[in-house]
């Protein structure tokens, strides 16, 4: 990107700021506000069925209704949840979970080990075509010897198996509800969580939940009703927040100064365990050549991109997962901004006179911005990018033709992308940043990256009982992946959330969860 283009971006942001500064007064009546919290979200929500979730936003919403055996605390410690305890044998091949007694689903039926058994077996069934089925390949069999005991017998020992079960796709719903609704469980979820499902207008993308009066944790929820409303456009979402039409909502980077200046809104910020990146099709020329991939990494000035395009919000990515995770490798050589080195690598690879490629991106949001900035930087070194822009709602569906859930891969098929923009909220464990995105054949590995040593290490690391040995393996994996450069490592996200003053006790969770325990509402 030419530097003289950047002031124009800043001028556009200033114009937006001035327009937003004239926000209207609260338009909701006291009756409309009473006991109700309205949450404005921006990303896609297509299902309540853990078997078929794809988007990070789905996890944020699903966990309010459906729950898991274990979960990560706000301090990134794995803690008991629907399971009150568990134990594992010496070689990590048998995991036994003991469920809490007296937990009931929203339909009144008791939570039992049989419910989890049937849910996991459904996820493992090829006919279900679960999007996270590859996470369960280690399971040999599941037993439910009594109502409160659940046993996983692993065909492949896995010493981080419990961490896997904290993911929302491992949440449980009522077997009675599944028998009633079948596939329509995706629109009629019945779980054990703090909120019960009321309605979902998929046309307007409005979801209504109510407080679960019989929640197993007691009266930890003060909010009587939670309305979740999709507002894709960043300016509109902030305007609605300023007007009081929504109570909590994500604030985009360019709107951070506006939110900070509004006396009716608190701006809360925190690191986010997520990464935004530009992926390469590693099987398709020119990106089947590691020198071309490395050249593109050197061509992009990520620090300037964050400063001028994302208004200083975020951190340049140095590898495949955030620096805040304990296993981050801070000793390897990362890609600095060096366009001369980029040109030299392209020349060495036979592209001295330039090369034309196609990048897929989304229509709005940070994906579109990072795409446009990257296109400008790459053009400076001779990589000419044609952007193909898809609506946010169908973007990831477009990948299914080339990497269907059934496991086939078609990286060289006519029309396949050369580059794409992606993002990943991998959670609290490095394993689940690396295995889904870099294991050969993984459904989420849209870069078609397939390296035997990486595949081997990703399988072996799960066999190490000692966390120090696992961290050493993760650091070696980072070294290999950064060197191979299957992505342009973009930036680590930061969460910026606007919260109306009437909302008390709200905290931003590092993993992006919407946790409302202890949150209260006051009239403004």
Q: What is the pLDDT of residue 24?
A: 43
The count of C-alpha atoms lying within 13 angstroms of the C-alpha of 524, restricted to the half-sphere facing its C-beta, is 21
Helix (H) or strand (E) holding 20: helix 6-20
Contacts of 151 (CB under 8 A, 6+ apart): 94, 95, 96, 97, 142, 143, 144, 145
Cβ atoms within 10 Å of 244's Cβ, excluding its own:
22
Q: What is the pLDDT of residue 524?
A: 57
CA–CA distances in Å: residue 108 to residues 173, 193, 264, 425: 12, 13, 41, 33
What digits encode the pLDDT tens for the residues 352-376?
A: 999 999 999 999 778 899 999 999 9
Look up residue 3 and give its two tokens: 């530097």
How does strand 139-146 pair with strand 503-504?
Answer: unpaired
**CA atoms of 309 and 311, how far apart (whole Å):** 6
Closest CA to 194 of 218, 172, 170: 218
What digits encode the pLDDT tens for the residues 228-263?
A: 999 989 999 999 999 999 999 999 888 998 999 999
Mapped onto helix, strand or coil, the DSSP state of residue 295 is helix
Q: What is the pLDDT of residue 13?
A: 41
Look up residue 411 and give its two tokens: 């990286």
Mapped onto helix, strand or coil, the DSSP state of residue 219 is coil
What digits encode the pLDDT tens for the residues 446-483?
A: 999 999 999 999 999 989 999 999 999 999 999 999 99
How does strand 520-521 pair with strand 503-504?
Answer: antiparallel
Residue entry with tokens 């990560």? 72
Look up residue 355 and give its two tokens: 């090369």
**CA atoms of 480 and 451, how far apart (whole Å):** 9
Closest CA to 6 of 384, 315, 304: 304
Residue entry with tokens 């961490």? 163
The count of C-alpha atoms lying within 13 angstroms of the C-alpha of 487, restricted to the half-sphere facing its C-beta, is 29
Angle, vertex CA 507, rays to CA 505 and CA 510, nearest 5: 165
Residues of the chain with confidence (pLDDT) below 50: 1-26
Closest CA to 509 of 60, 90, 48, 22: 60
- Under DSSP, the state recorded for 163 is H
Q: What is the pLDDT of residue 6?
A: 36
Calculate Rg over the CA atoms of the chain. Answer: 23
Q: What are phi and psi of 211, to 5 degrees?
A: -60, 135
pTM of the shown model:
0.78
For 256-263, the CB contacts below 8 A with 24+ separation are 256/311, 256/313, 256/496, 257/17, 257/311, 258/16, 258/17, 258/20, 258/21, 259/496, 259/498, 261/21, 262/23
Q: What is the pLDDT of residue 403?
A: 93
Residues 344/349/354/359 CA torsion (nearest 10 deg) = -110
How does strand 36-41 pair with strand 315-316?
Answer: unpaired
Helix (H) or strand (E) holding 180: helix 175-181
**CA atoms of 391 and 368, how far apart (whole Å):** 11
**CA atoms of 475 and 126, how far apart (whole Å):** 33
Q: What is the pLDDT of residue 31?
A: 66
Helices (H) and strands (E) in the chain, counts: 15, 19
- Sign of the CA dihedral 396, 400, 403, 409? negative
CA–CA distances in Å: residue 162 to residues 170, 172, 464: 11, 15, 14
CA–CA distances in Å: residue 514 to residues 64, 150, 287: 8, 28, 38
């Amino acid at each position: 990107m030419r530097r003289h283009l950047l002031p124009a971006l800043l001028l556009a942001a200033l114009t937006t700021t001035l327009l937003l500064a004239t926000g209207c007064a609260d338009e909701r009546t006291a009756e409309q506000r009473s006991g109700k919290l309205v949450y404005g979200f921006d990303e896609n929500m297509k299902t309540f069925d853990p078997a078929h979730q794809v988007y990070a936003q789905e996890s944020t919403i699903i966990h309010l209704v459906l729950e898991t055996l274990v979960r990560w605390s706000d301090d990134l410690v794995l803690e008991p949840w629907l399971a009150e305890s568990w134990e594992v044998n010496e070689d990590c091949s048998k995991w036994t979970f003991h469920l809490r007694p007296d937990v009931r689903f929203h339909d009144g039926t008791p939570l039992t080990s049989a419910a989890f058994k049937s849910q996991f077996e459904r996820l493992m069934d090829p006919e279900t075509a679960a999007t996270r089925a590859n996470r369960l390949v280690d399971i040999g069999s599941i037993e439910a010897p009594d109502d409160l005991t659940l046993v996983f017998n692993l065909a492949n020992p896995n010493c981080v198996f419990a961490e896997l079960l904290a993911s929302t796709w491992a949440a449980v719903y009522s077997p009675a509800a599944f028998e009633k609704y079948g596939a329509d469980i995706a629109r009629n979820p019945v779980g054990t969580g703090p909120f019960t499902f009321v309605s979902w207008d998929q046309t307007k993308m409005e979801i209504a939940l109510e407080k679960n009066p019989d929640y197993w944790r007691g009266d930890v929820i003060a909010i009587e009703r939670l309305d979740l409303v999709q507002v894709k456009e960043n300016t509109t979402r902030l305007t609605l927040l300023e007007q009081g039409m929504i109570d909590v909502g994500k604030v985009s980077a360019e709107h951070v100064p506006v939110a900070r200046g509004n006396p009716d809104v608190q701006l809360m910020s925190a690191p986010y365990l997520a990464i935004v990146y530009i992926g390469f099709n590693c099987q398709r020329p020119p990106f089947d050549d590691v020198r071309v991939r490395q050249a593109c990494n050197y061509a992009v000035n990520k620090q300037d991109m964050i400063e001028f395009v994302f208004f200083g919000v975020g951190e340049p990515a140095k590898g495949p997962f955030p620096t805040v995770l304990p296993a981050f490798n801070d000793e390897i050589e990362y890609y600095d901004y060096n366009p001369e080195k980029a040109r030299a690598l392209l020349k060495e690879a036979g592209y001295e006179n330039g090369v034309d490629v196609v990048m897929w991106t989304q229509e709005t949001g940070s994906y579109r911005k990072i795409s446009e900035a990257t296109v400008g930087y790459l053009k400076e070194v001779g990589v000419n990018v044609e952007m193909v822009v898809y609506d946010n709602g169908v973007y990831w569906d477009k990948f299914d033709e080339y990497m269907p859930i059934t496991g086939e891969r078609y990286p060289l098929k006519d029309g396949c992308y050369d580059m794409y923009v992606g993002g990943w909220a991998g959670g609290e464990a490095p394993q689940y940043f690396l295995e889904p995105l870099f294991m050969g054949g993984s459904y989420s590995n849209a870069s078609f990256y397939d390296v035997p040593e990486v595949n081997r290490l990703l399988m072996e690391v799960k066999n190490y009982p000692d966390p120090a040995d696992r961290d050493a393996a993760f650091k070696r994996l980072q070294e290999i992946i950064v060197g191979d450069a299957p992505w342009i490592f973009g930036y680590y996200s930061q969460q910026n959330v606007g919260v109306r003053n009437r909302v008390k006790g709200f905290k931003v969770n590092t993993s992006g969860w919407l946790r409302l325990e202890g949150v209260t509402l006051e009239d403004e």
